[in-house]
Amino acid sequence: MCAFFKRNFRRPQLIPLLFIIASTITLTSLGAWQVERLAWKNALVKQIEQVQNLPPLQELLAELEHARQVGDDALARRCTAVA
């Protein structure tokens, strides 16, 4: 039986083994990064949707300055323009 294994199976080589280990670690970390990125992107989309539901800005400069002072970034806010 031992002769069968010696004849039909090679001994694992070091370089391919290291490549497989490095590839597994790299792909696993990239997968985890994608999951974290999905959570970040969903939070960003939710924040933009909340801001878009606010009433439009009437006096753009004054309201943007107020938003900057209170820490609101005024991202994706609607505004009205009067000619």
Residue ranges of domains in the chain: 16-52, 54-83
List pLDDT tens digits, range 12-26: 788 888 999 999 999
List pLDDT tens digits, range 42-82: 998 998 888 777 777 666 667 677 777 776 665 566 666 66
Rounded to an integer, the average pLDDT of 20-43 is 97
DSSP the chain: -HHHHHHH-PPPPHHHHHHHHHHHHHHHHHHHHHHHHHHHHHHHHHHHHHHHTSPPBSSHHHHHHHHHHHT---TT--B----
